[in-house]
Amino acid sequence: MIFVTPHSRLEATIQKSGARHLISLTSPDKQVERPAGIAADNWLLLRMNDIVEERDGLIAPSRAHVQAALDFATGWNGGSPLVVSCYAGISRSTAIAYSIVAMLRPGRDVLELAQELRCLSPSATPNIRIIALADEILNRNGKMVAAISSIGRGADAFEGTPFQLQLPPGRG
């Protein structure tokens, strides 16, 4: 199971879920500490701005960021939940969580997964740059980008509500 949460609800989400693995997505200038209960080897911290194109003075999500998140998820055994967190729990974290499920379940229809994401999180607006990079890495030939584009922008919100994505049998 994969939980997605804004940073403000991270501790509560970890406690409630019993998660032992965490991917934190944060802006380069933000201080982030590893939460209690998450071992150093089970924590991936990725620093990037929540932007969809290169901009002076900011760090756009890169192929290396997305590959690191996918590699981290590959090493996750599914024995306890994985939490993916970003500042608002709306854009970067939803994109990474969606990409991880698409990777771990290559036979799963990515349009169905995008629609499930929308139902679980009305405010979810997955960062399309992250989605495009994952689509390329996973050789989905534009299907992930099309699926996320089809659900459109999520409802306006300051931050998302934590939610969980189930992995069909086999892992998590």
Domain boundaries, the chain: 2-165
| pLDDT digit string, tens, across residues 89-120 | 999 999 999 999 999 999 999 999 999 999 99
| pLDDT digit string, tens, across residues 25-73 | 999 999 999 998 899 999 999 999 999 999 999 999 999 999 999 999 9
Q: CA 79, CA 14: separation in Å to the nearest integer?
A: 14
Provide mean pLDDT across the span 74-98: 95
pLDDT recorded at residue 77: 87
The structure's pTM equals 0.95
Q: Which fold has domain 2-165?
A: Protein-Tyrosine Phosphatase; Chain A (3.90.190)
Q: Is the dihedral of CA 27, 34, 24, 67 positive or negative?
A: positive
